[in-house]
Every structure is written in C-alpha cells, then in structure tokens.
Amino acid sequence: MDGENQRVRITKLLLKETLEELLKQKPITRITVKEICSSAGINRSTFYQHYADQYALLDEIEDDIIRQADEFIGKISPEKGGRQYLVELAAFVRRNGAILSLLLTSGSGMNFQNKFMACVLKKLSTADPELYSSELMPYFSQFLIMGNISVIRQWITDGFSLSDEKAADLLYCLSEGVVKAFDNIEK
C-alpha cells in the first residue's frame, strides 16, 4: 500500500515539475496533456488516473502553494506586528520565488492571485475585526490585493533586488496608506 502511495506521489511530483517547466515557455492555454505526458515520459492514461486535464494539474499546484503559505502564515506570531509579518511573508515569497513567479506572472489567471492574497489577508483580518466588517471591505480588499500582488510580481521579476526587509517596508507603507484612506472614507 505504501509503495503504491509513494509511486503516486512520485508520478504527481513529476507531472507538476513538468508542467512548471512548460509554464516557463508558454501559458497554460497552449499546453496540452499530450505535451505534459511526452515531456514527463508518462503515458496519458496514467495522467488521467490523477487529473482531468492540464488545468486540474495546475489547480493542484496552486492549491499546494496556497496550503504551504497558509501553514507558514499560521506560524507567524500575531505579537510581531504588521511589518514583521510582511518581512516573514517576503521571506516565504523569496523561498518559493520560482513557483510564485510562474503562478503570478504566467497568466495562469486571477484565481491564484486572489486565493494567495486572501490567504495572506485572512491573518491580518484577525488583527482588526472592525475594519474587516465594513460594507466597503470587498472593494478595499480587492484594491489591496491587486496592489500588493503587483508589487510582489515586480519584486520577483526584478530578481528580488530588494531585501526582504525593504520589500516588506514598501508593502507596509503602501498598505498603511490605503488603510488610512479607507478609514477616512468610513468616517
């Protein structure tokens, strides 16, 4: 039983790594199951035992990184404050830069970006529940998500030219400005 599970894990890992390599060359819309299988050296029937199509494989890759981010974020102490939270988030982004670069810049869709930032914002929402109960929160969240994603995407594209601390300071200052503007609207 365990050998079979190990074989499945290895097969899935190979398929994920193969898709990640193909995503470096072209968008998911131009990648076929046949191409993934050929590159991985796996027959299509094996692929279809695990995934419905290339999009299902991509979804699992996205879900894996969201789960890792959620686990990582869950370990950050709330007492550290917003800036330190962002420093640790920046460290996570740097450690997972290769896959995040693909998922955030390859045009794989807004779904991943929204899931990733929702995971990040979930931790922050516990810090100020009143702020997160506002009827304007969906608009505020979307603006904050897209702004932060853009900064993170640029940081990745620039090869992490800023230190984790500097990237965190930038995210913190920009987000803090948005929060102040939001507070002014709410008053």
Ordered by start, the domain boundaries in the chain are 2-51, 62-186
| Residues contacting residue 42 through CB under 8 Å, at least 6 positions apart | 11, 14, 15
Does pLDDT of 131 surpass 60?
A: no
pLDDT category at 38 given cuts 50, 70, 90 is very high
pTM of the model: 0.78
pLDDT category at 44 given cuts 50, 70, 90 is very high
**Amino acid 79: pLDDT:** 62
Mean pLDDT estimate for the chain:
83
Does pLDDT of 127 surpass 60?
A: no
Q: Which CATH class is domain 2-51?
A: mainly alpha
Read off the pLDDT of each residue in 130-156 and give the average, rounded to a whole number. 79
**Percentage of the chain surpassing pLDDT 90?**
37
CATH architecture of structural domain 62-186: Orthogonal Bundle (1.10)
DSSP 78: G
